Amino acid sequence: MTQTQESVNLGPIDVLSPVQREVDGALTDIVGEVLRTYILEDELNDPQLNVIMGIGELLCLNIESVKLDIVEKGEFQQWAKHISATLNVHASNDIEAYSHIAYLRTDVTMSQPWALFMVVVICRHYEARAKEVGLEFEYTLRFCENVISSIFSGVEAQRT
């Protein structure tokens, strides 16, 4: 699927060009832990590591943007309604990618639809670069799955 600039905006958040800011340490720790696992298990080379780190950084910046620009301003419910159509259209246009990560919406992780959108958009954005260094789309998607699963499992655990 080819991404257009319009298809990667979620209201004020541009998924591929998020605001550059410092990211919460807990979030970077989660990404770091997942990344360490991939490095140890798959013996990533430097070009592969650069791609995965880029994906992780973009994911962190976007999650931080949602937290600071939407949630902490008390605008989450309005934003979620506003982006609903975009999320639905995007999911119907990339059923293959979403079918791999749909389980993240289960009771265990309770991942939000906007997070799944960001995962797919970011992995599709990096797809050509990843392929150049020997990483398949599904590999980058799995990396993001593990990050998102860890984040939302942690959030859900804090609620209980």
For the segment 94-146, what is each residue's pLDDT rounded down to a tens digit?
999 999 988 888 765 678 899 999 999 999 999 999 999 999 999 999 999 99
Please tell me the predicted confidence (pLDDT) of residue 106: 75
d(CA 56, CA 73): 25
User: Average pLDDT, stretch 80-106?
Assistant: 91
Per-residue model confidence (pLDDT) at position 7 = 46
Confidence of residue 157 (pLDDT cuts 50, 70, 90): very low
Q: What is the pLDDT of residue 56?
A: 95
Query: Is the C-alpha dihedral spanning 13, 17, 20, 21 positive or negative?
Result: positive
Q: What is the pLDDT of residue 48?
A: 96
Q: What is the pLDDT of residue 8?
A: 84
Collapsing DSSP to helix, strand or coil, 15 comes out as: coil
- Calculate the CA dihedral of residues 55, 69, 110, 14 and round it to 10 degrees: -40
Residue 13 and residue 65 in contact, taking contact as beta carbons nearer than 8 Å: yes
Nearest to 116 by CA among 76, 152, 74, 70: 152
> For position 4, what pLDDT does the model report?
41
**Which pLDDT tens digit goes with each residue over 50-73?**
999 999 999 999 999 999 999 999
Q: State the Cα–Cα distance between residues 68 and 155, nearest whole angstrom.
A: 16
Res 153: pLDDT:
77
